[in-house]
């Protein structure tokens, strides 16, 4: 039986496979940790100030819902949230009564009583890094959300 | 994380189901087996990806997880014969010197026709008496060793 073999190529292939298996292992560990979004400890982040606490998805996926929770520490009359207009669409707000107004699908204005929360279901439409900022009675928090394809 | 958990659960569930179903299940793909395979893949797709997540990232993670678990299982099976026996079926001799072992054949859900079909395909054999051994392999295929080779 004649089979053409090339030990050097075989050795290279073996190394290539092993590196690939290692990379797959790292990807899975990163995904379990939440670095690719949709669950996992690293996928969510929490920001606080004296006015409110904000929990959001640090990593999200395009065309997959992402959630943002805002809890007021005191009565807040004017919470202004700025979203990237074309890249993110708000699909739901609970409770709806917290929303006072929307300007150009981009600027959302809320009112919250102390120790009350509002939850937003946001649908990222494209991948990339997009800034979101929230201003509550003069105090601003800004953060970036990484959207995977 | 959810994609990884879903893919792992589906892999383990399918492994258990096919282990229960036995080696002959889907071993030779008939038209109905192909349809069954497509139905199973359609059902598992929703379970793995979920309703909400249609992203490319999710699909890549599911594929990576399934392939990685498969590699890990293969690696573990080489190192642990006990695990190999748990996960994989062992070869079974279902016919010796032309005499079929009916009990084993019934247990493995194969018929004399299946053995003869394999014998005709592999060795051009026409009768059971021309077969020295028929072995049902771990992958569900039937290997034929003809009498003349003894």
The 3-state secondary structure of chain B reads CHHHHHHHHHHHHHHHHHHHHCCCCCCCCCHHHHHHHHHHHHHHHHHHHCCCCCCHHHHHHHHHHHHHHHHHHHHHHHHCHHHHHHHCCCCEEEEECCEECHHHHHHCCCCHHHHHHHHHHHHCCCCHHHEEEEEECCCCCEEEEEHHHC
ipTM for the whole complex: 0.76
Does the global pTM surpass 0.90? no
Q: Is the confidence at residue B19, as pLDDT, over 90?
A: no
Average pLDDT over residues B3-25: 84
Query: In A42-63, which positions are buried (b, 16+ CB within 10 angstroms) versus exposed (e)?
Result: bbbeeeeeebbebbbbbbbbbb
Task: Give contacts of B64 with chain A, Cβ < 8 Å.
Answer: 24, 27-28
What tens digit of pLDDT does each residue of A66-112 get? 888 988 888 888 888 888 877 788 888 888 777 887 877 778 888 88
Is the C-alpha dihedral spanning A118, A124, A127, A131 positive or negative?
A: negative
Q: Among B2, B7, B50, which would you mutate to test the A interface (most chain A Cβ atoms within 10 Å of its Cβ)?
A: B2
Q: What is the pLDDT, as a whole number, of residue B42?
A: 86
A65 touches chain B (CB under 8 A): yes
Which helix (H) or strand (E) element contains residue A98?
none
What tens digit of pLDDT does each residue of A121-138 get? 888 888 888 888 888 877
* Contact assignment for A24 to B67 by CB distance below 8 Å: yes
In sequence order, what are the beta bridge partners of A141?
A134
What tens digit of pLDDT does each residue of B65-109 get? 999 999 998 899 899 988 888 888 888 899 999 899 999 898 888
Q: How far is CA B35 from CA B22, B30, B89, in A?
A: 18, 9, 24
* Contact assignment for A31 to B4 by CB distance below 8 Å: yes
Which helix (H) or strand (E) element contains residue A147?
strand A139-148
Q: What is the pLDDT, as a whole number, of residue B28?
A: 66
Q: Is the confidence at residue A8, as pLDDT, over 70?
A: yes
* Contact assignment for A38 to B1 by CB distance below 8 Å: yes
Q: What is the pLDDT, as a whole number, of residue B25?
A: 65
Average pLDDT over residues B127-145: 89
Q: Is the confidence at residue B4, as pLDDT, over 70?
A: yes
Q: What is the pLDDT, as a whole number, of residue B150?
A: 45
Q: What is the pLDDT, as a whole number, of residue A1?
A: 64
Q: What is the pLDDT, as a whole number, of residue B54?
A: 77
A34 touches chain B (CB under 8 A): yes
| Among candidate residues B37, B17, B39, the one with its CA nearest the CA of residue B27 | B37
Percent residues over pLDDT 90 in chain B: 25
Q: What tokens were used for A27?
A: 């990807």
Q: What is the pLDDT, as a whole number, of residue A81?
A: 82
Nearest to A38 among B3, B64, B68 (CB): B3
Q: What is the pLDDT, as a whole number, of residue B79?
A: 92
- The band of B26, judged by pLDDT with boundaries at 50, 70 and 90, is low
What tens digit of pLDDT does each residue of A19-33 get? 999 999 999 999 999
Residue B7 phi, psi dihedral angles, 5° rounding:
-65, -40
């Amino acid at each position: 039986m004649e089979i053409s073999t090339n030990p050097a190529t075989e050795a290279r292939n073996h190394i290539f496979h092993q590196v690939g298996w290692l990379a797959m292992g790292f990807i899975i560990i990163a995904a379990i940790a939440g670095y690719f979004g949709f669950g996992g400890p690293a996928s969510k982040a929490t920001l606080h100030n004296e006015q409110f606490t904000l929990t959001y998805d640090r990593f999200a996926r395009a065309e997959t819902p992402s959630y943002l929770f805002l809890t007021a520490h005191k009565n807040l009359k004017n919470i202004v949230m700025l979203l990237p207009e074309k890249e993110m669409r708000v699909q739901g707000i609970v409770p709806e009564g917290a929303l006072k107004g929307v300007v150009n699908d981009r600027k959302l204005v809320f009112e919250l009583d102390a120790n009350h929360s509002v939850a937003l279901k946001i649908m990222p439409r494209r991948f990339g890094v997009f800034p979101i900022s929230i201003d509550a009675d003069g105090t601003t928090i800004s953060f970036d959300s990484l959207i995977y394809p | 994380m959810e994609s990884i958990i879903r893919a792992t659960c589906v892999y383990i569930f399918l492994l258990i189901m096919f282990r229960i179903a036995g080696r002959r299940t889907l071993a030779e793909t008939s038209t109905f087996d192909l349809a069954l395979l497509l139905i199973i893949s359609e059902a598992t797709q929703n379970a793995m990806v979920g309703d909400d997540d249609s992203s490319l990232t999710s699909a890549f993670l599911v594929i990576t997880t399934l392939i990685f678990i498969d590699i890990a299982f293969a690696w573990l099976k080489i190192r642990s014969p006990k695990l190999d026996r748990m996960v994989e079926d062992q070869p079974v001799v279902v016919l010796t010197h032309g005499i079929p072992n009916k009990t084993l054949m019934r247990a493995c859900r194969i018929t004399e026709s299946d053995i003869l079909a394999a014998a005709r395909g592999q060795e051009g054999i026409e009768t059971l008496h021309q077969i020295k051994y028929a072995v049902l392999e771990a992958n569900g295929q039937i290997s034929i060793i003809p009498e003349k080779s003894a």
